[in-house]
Amino acid sequence: AQKVTQAQTEISVVEKEDVTLDCVYETRDTTYYLFWYKQPPSGELVFLIRRNSFDEQNEISGRYSWNFQKSTSSFNFTITASQVVDSAVYFCALSEAGWGGANSKLTFGKGITLSVRP
């Protein structure tokens, strides 16, 4: 069975601070996919990034960066120079490969509420 753990539940920072959101996952599959989603106060779920299990290259997109380490089963997300608009709930999710007619559902962590104060 697959599992995603986001041990941090709430994080509060002051604007311009860097913040890292942790995600640890469990799966028995050798092929799997990891995702981060953002849920702003308006409630919608916004897809941020996907990584596959064969690609451990870290990624940077503007102020966002992701650190994927298979050795520790972690897929952490860092926001550099945080802004008030980054305030949201952030979910890490795992999907197994899903061959043929398989579901390949998303298993979500419980989310991290990030508050960025001005």
Partner 1 sequence: EAQVTQNPRYLITVTGKKLTVTCSQNMNHEYMSWYRQDPGLGLRQIYYSMNVEVTDKGDVPEGYKVSRKEKRNFPLILESPSPNQTSLYFCASRQTGQGQPQHFGDGTRLSIL
Site for partner 1, rule CB under 8 A: 31, 33, 35, 37, 42-45, 47, 50, 52, 91, 95, 97-99, 101, 103-106, 108-111
When the beta carbons of 17 and 106 are compared against partner 1, the nearer one is 106
Q: Note the Cα 57 to chain centre separation in Å.
A: 15
Nearest to 46 by CA among 54, 55, 37: 37
Please report how close the Cβ of residue 87 comes to partner 1 at its closest, in angstroms: 18
Please report how close the Cβ of residue 108 comes to partner 1 at its closest, in angstroms: 4
Cβ-in-10-Å burial (0-12, 13-18, 19+) of 90 comes to buried
